[in-house]
Structure 1
Amino acid sequence: MKTNKLYLTFFALLMTVSVYAQRNGEKPFFTKDFSETSLNALKVQTSGGSITVEGDRNSGVRVEMYVRANNWNGNEVSDDEIEDRLKLYDITIRRENDMVVAIAKLKDNNNMNWKKGLSISFKVATPRNFTTDLKTSGGSIHLASLTGEQNFTTSGGSIHVDGLKGNIKGRTSGGSIEATHCSDDVDLTTSGGSIKAESMMGNIRLITSGGSISLADLNGKVRAATSGGGIRADGIQGELDASTSGGSIRMQNLAASVKASTSAGSIEADFDKLGDFVSLSTSSGSVRVNMPLNKGLDLDLRGNKVSIDLKNFDGRMDKDRVQGSLNGGGIPIKLSASSGSVYVNQ
């Protein structure tokens, strides 16, 4: 409907009273409320700003839009200049059936002078049970207190999610990721930043191509992988699969089945309780493990040197290899250091 669409001509009427406050971070440039109780989905796209969505409303949806000039030369940009730049954009804020749509995009990417660009951000408040589809090419994404399917992508910003429940999938090409208090199915990937995940449960997949990973208080099936950083894990329950091509792995307070590997670092693991298996391997460092030895274990330990004190053991025990059954056998324990040593409870 016409009344649900925001036209650029309407911006000019609001410019005088809004721009100064927006620059100082006090007020949004524009606000629109949707009161329909049937709304259950949100789609937001912007080319140069951030997106924030919080599920803190009992009903209805509020969309706030923020506008900031890309001030390349450091000089103050006038209200008239911002008004002229807005004419280069198509802005849509409307309802489509049960979905709220907020889109800011350039009319002509090819002929755009980027020194005259704008950063157009959206902050949206929704009920908790809401589905989102979010995309920005140059800003960060923040999501909080939502239940449902969440899909979000940024080409150059960070991702921060808190209190999400459901099917959660996020991607960033150049920023860090921080996730807390999320559950069910969590799939987060970055091509160039670090990942921090705390207090989560469910099926959790965390991938980075160029940063470190920090995990704390996770319960479920956890997959964490990085191509260029170290991994730290504290308080993991369930199952952990951790791998890195260029760093060390440090794990403590484990009560889980664990598979961990690195090509260029050492591995340290401290178990409070063993899960169904342990498999740790490194190509160029040592493996050091503290774990209970009072249960039935099937040991396969390899390294330049293997150091472990054993009782009630049946099998092979050499300087560089220990293989056999402890306490009658049971949980498979495989520790391998191609060019380092293996230490158990040492």
Structure 2
Amino acid sequence: MNITLFTRFMPILLVAGQVVAAATPTTHKHTAGAAYTVSLDENDDTPYKTLSFTGINLVRAQTSGGGLTVEGGAGPGVKVEMFIRGNNGNGNLSKDEIEDRLKDYEIYIRQEGSTVVAVAKQRGSFNWNWKRGLSISFKFTTPRNMATNISTSGGGIKMSHLTGKQRFETSGGGITLVDLKGDIEGNTSGGGIKLTECRDRVVVETSGGSIDASNSSGNLKMHTSGGGIRISNLNGMINVETSGGSINGDRIDGELNASTSGGGIHIRDMAGSIEAETSAGSVEVNFTRVDKYVKLETSAGSVRVQMPMDKGMSLDLSGSRVSAPLNNFSGSAERDRIVGKTNGGGIPVVLSATAGSVSINQQ
């Protein structure tokens, strides 16, 4: 396709994948896989550069100092926008300052077969002057059916309205996921994770923030080492784990595995099966339906459960004090231990509190 490159002020050109300065404003005609315009508007909402591509099914991006955004659901083509601002507290830089600092970066945006590749990285870390640093972000507008493989060392990641295989990673920001379907996997070392309306397989991890997941279904796995977890309106196989916070949830349907080393576990409107464990808090679960199993444990708190007991259950309850309705029960019941069957036995119900009480359907 024919491409037109428009420039003004002191523009940048892509030459063999490198960014160089042009001496005077010019208009160039090329035959290649993309078309772009260059703008040096100091408004942060205005892209520094915009390119368009066709025949793309994978987005691959890397930036060392900014965020990454991928929005699906558009037409057949892919639009790439690059945004530049100072990362030393000065967001508005003159065109001369930007051009001077860009000499310290390797930047290219190009098409490689059916993949669009966008890279912005420092040329070298030796004697790097952070005062000259830039925050270089990319925004991709794509068709809904689009795979990604993106990473950033200095910003957040936002992804929405995509179907396919998604891989993403950031060392310095949060992650926001909206309306994704497919094989989804990503992590952050420096921020929280928020996801909603995600389906199929979702695996996310953070070392430094909380996790908030809602209105999603499938095989969902979420882990954080430094915050709490909030889940609501989830359906499927759900695995959540935190080393530094509590777990709170409501309207969960399916099988839930939840564990924390630093807080309580509180689940409302649980329909299905659950295995939950904490080392430093209480466990409270309110069931609307019990399916295959219930296993709740704590080392430093109590276990309190509200649940229908019309099905056959095999009870193993232990704590400093144990209380439960024992209708149609056979087995042994003591102050600190109940072991036996209700309604002939069936669903295993194991509740254990090392240093607290255990109760079922007690006010």
The answer, yes or no, to whether TM exceeds 0.5 is: yes
Gap change, CA 1:75 and 1:246, over 3 Å in 2: closer
Gap change, CA 1:275 and 1:11, over 3 Å in 2: farther
Correspondence list, 1:294-309, <5 A: 294-309=310-325
Gap change, CA 1:71 and 1:3, over 3 Å in 2: closer
Work out the CA distance in 2 between the residues paired with 1:12 and 1:179. 46
Partner of 2:32: none
2:50 is matched by which residue type in structure 1? T
1:60 is matched by which residue type in structure 2? G
Gap change, CA 1:75 and 1:100, over 3 Å in 2: closer
Gap change, CA 1:116 and 1:3, over 3 Å in 2: closer
Work out the CA distance in 2 between the residues paired with 1:315 and 1:76. 75
Work out the CA distance in 2 between the residues paired with 1:71 and 1:277. 54
1:3 positional shift: 7.5
Does 1:242 find its partner at 2:258? yes
**Equivalent position to 1:18, from 13, 21, 39:** 39
1:9 is matched by which residue type in structure 2? V
The one-character-per-residue Cα deviations of 1:295-335 (angstroms, maximum 9, x if unpaired) are 10000000000011211000010000000000110100000
**Equivalent position to 1:218, from 230, 234, 241:** 234
1:77 positional shift: 3.9
**Equivalent position to 2:268, from 252, 277, 293:** 252
1:66 positional shift: 0.1
Work out the CA distance in 2 between the residues paired with 1:12 and 1:281. 70
Work out the CA distance in 2 between the residues paired with 1:19 and 1:177. 33
Does 1:180 find its partner at 2:196? yes
Work out the CA distance in 2 between the residues paired with 1:159 and 1:208. 13
**Equivalent position to 1:153, from 163, 169, 189:** 169
Gap change, CA 1:284 and 1:12, over 3 Å in 2: farther
CA contact (8 A) 2:322 2:336 kept: yes
Partner of 1:63: 80
Structure 2 unmatched runs, 5+: 1-12, 26-37
Work out the CA distance in 2 between the residues paired with 1:247 and 1:193. 15
Work out the CA distance in 2 between the residues paired with 1:48 and 1:6. 19
- The percent of aligned pairs where both chains have the same amino acid is 51
What TM-score do the two structures reach when normalised by structure 2? 0.90
Work out the CA distance in 2 between the residues paired with 1:61 and 1:308. 60
Does 1:270 find its partner at 2:286? yes
CA contact (8 A) 1:5 1:93 kept: no
Gap change, CA 1:275 and 1:19, over 3 Å in 2: same
SS in 2 for 1:112: coil
CA contact (8 A) 2:85 2:92 kept: no
1:9 positional shift: 2.4
SS in 1 for 2:226: coil
SS in 1 for 2:20: helix
Work out the CA distance in 2 between the residues paired with 1:111 and 1:63. 31
Gap change, CA 1:11 and 1:106, over 3 Å in 2: farther
1:12 positional shift: 7.6
Gap change, CA 1:316 and 1:69, over 3 Å in 2: same
Structure 1 unmatched runs, 5+: none
Work out the CA distance in 1 between the residues paired with 2:264 and 2:24. 58
Work out the CA distance in 2 between the residues paired with 1:79 and 1:126. 29
Gap change, CA 1:64 and 1:229, over 3 Å in 2: same
Aligned pairs, how many? 339
**Equivalent position to 2:154, from 138, 143, 165:** 138
1:92 is matched by which residue type in structure 2? Y
Work out the CA distance in 2 between the residues paired with 1:13 and 1:302. 81
1:71 positional shift: 2.8
Correspondence list, 1:1-346, <5 A: 7-9=18-20, 18-21=39-42, 24-34=43-53, 36=54, 38-72=55-89, 77-346=93-362
User: Bigger CA drift: 4-13 or 279-288?
Assistant: 4-13
1:227 positional shift: 0.2
2:20 is matched by which residue type in structure 1? T
1:143 positional shift: 0.4
CA contact (8 A) 1:139 1:154 kept: yes
What's the C-alpha RMSD, in Å, of the aligned pairs? Answer: 1.9
CA contact (8 A) 1:12 1:83 kept: no
1:76 positional shift: 6.1
Work out the CA distance in 2 between the residues paired with 1:11 and 1:286. 70
SS in 1 for 2:335: coil
Q: Which has the higher helix share?
A: 1
Work out the CA distance in 1 between the residues paired with 2:80 and 2:91. 30
